[in-house]
Amino acid sequence: MADTVQYEFRRRLNVFDSTMLVMGSMIGSGIFIVSANMARELASPGWLLVAWALTGVMTVIAAVSYGELAAMMPQAGGIYVYLREAYSPLFGFLYGWTLFLVIQTGTIAAVGMAFAKYLGVLIPSITEANIFLDLGVVKVTSVHLVAIASIVFLTWVNMRGVEEGKWVQNIFTFTKAAILILFVVIGLWVLRGTGIADQNPQGIWNTQGNNPAQPLSSLTGFALMATLATAMVGSLFSADAWYNVTFASAEVINPRKTIPVSLFLGTVLVTLIYFLVNVVYLKSLPLRGDPEGLTAAARGIQYAAEERVGTASMYQILGKPAEIIMALAVVISTFGCNNGIILTGARVYYAMAQDGLFFRRTGMLSRRNVPAIGLAVQGVWSILLCLSGTYSDLLDYVIFAVMIFNVLIISAIYILRKKRPEAERPYKAFGYPVLPAVYVVFSLFVMLMLLFYKPKFTWPGLIIVLVGIPVYFLWKRSAEKVSAG
């Protein structure tokens, strides 16, 4: 009798909760490290800020565009549902397939490992040198164990119910946002007499490097635009996952209004924080540096030790306590980030299973009204990616695939306006038809530049998506046989 009970999602997320989910999913470890690689590619303080500003503007445009689809179809699964309705079930499946295989689970693995590594700064016994199990191909270290423990714990919390998950999200997101804002305020105050130009006497817009060992030609015209586009891979990845709140649409109170508002507020606030954090980086450190430099200032942003620009900047502001303070900040940031990603991801697998396109039991809700089995399956695969050590490479590979889906989703607004003109649209995309088109054109340009100049970031992700096509038809055939039987 108990097996026949049908549980439903409960609407428990208000505007504040949803905004925290948007912000918390965005802010992980990226903001503390990716500016190093971006600085090496752009070699210009001014263009580094332009890259972050462009990333923010494009993210906000995407968010206010997604709002129309979220208000129109406030169902569990979010993006999966939008692609299914605008194109076909195949497109929805390809997104869900890639999300489960790499995007969501790979991010969970990567963020979990970042959490463990930074916790190792506070607890020295957590180190990759501390090996618990050596199987030759796979080495299980204390870092792996802590990362796995964090994934298991957060999965368990979210199995307890959406209320428990949202409280963890709210507390950690509010805390990490406050830490970043405090970093900006203290940095701007301490460095109030220092300008970006003071740290970069070669010029703010000069794109010529100052390291004789690695000379750079000055970038202009198309070469500059191409470099800017490829350098933005880091900032785009750091600003990703803002759309995760749409996956949990069925648990949002008054989703037709709440989700568009939270998407706008969350992306705007994170954009401002990210931009100002990079201003502090550039006021505290020179952009250009020497990879052999012995001090944080000598290495600059380009060659910050272990890419930890946030730590190097904090050291310039506060001195020796910087490493501990920044490690604590990243620990809080990554823990909160993973909670949001874990909470939302299983809702997509639930929607897929409801359509017969994923493991049947992931389409069931537990007595706590959450997709507990979907959460467990997601957790297991994330842990396997942790142990494999391939999660970082996989994430590099799928950024191109993520951009393809983003273009398809924004384009879906135009398609559904034609396909379903009678559908209720409580919110319509701001700036339509111009702003969504700007996003699509800009994204296509970035994708084209990646295709030509960074093919290793493109083809593997594309292959992962395309492999999903035969899998879709196999799964569909299997589902049809079960239905017929």
- Angle (CA) 34-38-41 rounded to 5° is 150
Overall pTM surpassing 0.85 (yes/no): yes
Q: Is the pLDDT of residue 376 over 70?
A: yes
pLDDT band per the 50, 70, 90 thresholds, residue 216: very low
- The domain spans of the chain are 13-480
Separation between Cα atoms, residue 171 and residue 179, nearest integer Å: 12
Bridge partners (DSSP) listed for residue 34:
none
Find the mean pLDDT for residues 48-70: 97
Higher pLDDT, 390 or 215: 390
Pairing of strands 131-134, 139-141: antiparallel
> For residue 398, what pLDDT is reported?
76
Q: Is the pLDDT of residue 129 over 90?
A: no
Average pLDDT over the chain, rounded to an integer: 91
Tell me what percent of the residues of the chain surpass a pLDDT of 70: 95
> For residue 454, what pLDDT is reported?
83
Q: Is the pLDDT of residue 485 over 70?
A: no
Bridge partners (DSSP) listed for residue 139:
134
Q: Is 7 left (phi over 0), alpha (psi -120 to 50) or beta?
A: beta
| Ranges 129-133, 280-284, 468-472, 477-481: which has the least confidence | 477-481
Find the mean pLDDT for residues 145-154: 97
pLDDT band per the 50, 70, 90 thresholds, residue 203: confident
Higher pLDDT, 446 or 398: 446
- Which tens digits make up the pLDDT trace of 347-358? 999 999 999 999
> For residue 218, what pLDDT is reported?
60
Find the mean pLDDT for residues 177-203: 91
Backbone φ and ψ of 195, nearest 5°: -100, 165
Structure tokens at 448: 């084209």
pLDDT band per the 50, 70, 90 thresholds, residue 459: confident
Q: Is the pLDDT of residue 101 over 60?
A: yes
CATH level 2 (architecture), domain 13-480: Up-down Bundle (1.20)
Q: Is the pLDDT of residue 426 over 60?
A: yes
- Secondary structure (DSSP) of 181-231: HHHHHHHHHHTTT--HHHH-TT-SS------TTS--PPP-HHHHHHHHHHH
| Ranges 96-100, 201-205, 415-419: which has the least confidence | 201-205
> For residue 208, what pLDDT is reported?
62
**Residue 353 in contact with residue 377, Cβ under 8 Å?**
no
Residues written for the chain? 485
pLDDT band per the 50, 70, 90 thresholds, residue 210: very low
* Tokens 């008054």 found at: 254
> For residue 219, what pLDDT is reported?
61
